[in-house]
Amino acid sequence: MDTEERRIEASGAEATGPARVPRQQLWVEEPALRRRMPDPVRTAAVRAVLIMSLTIIQAMVAFLCTLTGSWLAFPMVLSGVGSTVVATWSVLDVWVTRQVWNQRNGVVSVPSSTARRMRRERRRARRTARAQTRKATRIRRRGTGGLSRA
What is the pLDDT, as a whole number, of residue 3?
A: 67
What is the pLDDT, as a whole number, of residue 113?
A: 67
What is the pLDDT, as a whole number, of residue 2?
A: 66
Q: How many whole angstroms separate alpha carbon 45 and alpha carbon 53?
A: 12
What is the pLDDT, as a whole number, of residue 35?
A: 81
What is the pLDDT, as a whole number, of residue 18?
A: 58
What is the number of other CB atoms lying within 10 angstroms of the CB of residue 32? 7
* Sign of the CA dihedral with 37 first, then 38, 39, and 42 last: negative
One pLDDT digit (tens) per residue for the chain, 150 residues: 566 666 666 665 555 555 677 778 888 888 888 888 889 999 999 999 999 999 999 999 999 999 999 999 999 999 999 999 999 999 999 999 999 988 888 765 555 666 778 888 999 999 999 999 888 887 665 555 555 554
DSSP track, 19-55: -PPPPPPS------SSPPPPHHHHHHHHHHHHHHHHH
What is the pLDDT, as a whole number, of residue 16?
A: 55
What is the pLDDT, as a whole number, of residue 82?
A: 95
Q: Please list, in sequence order, all residues whose beta carbon lies within 8 angstroms of the beta carbon of residue 77, skipping any fewer than 6 positions away.
A: 62, 66
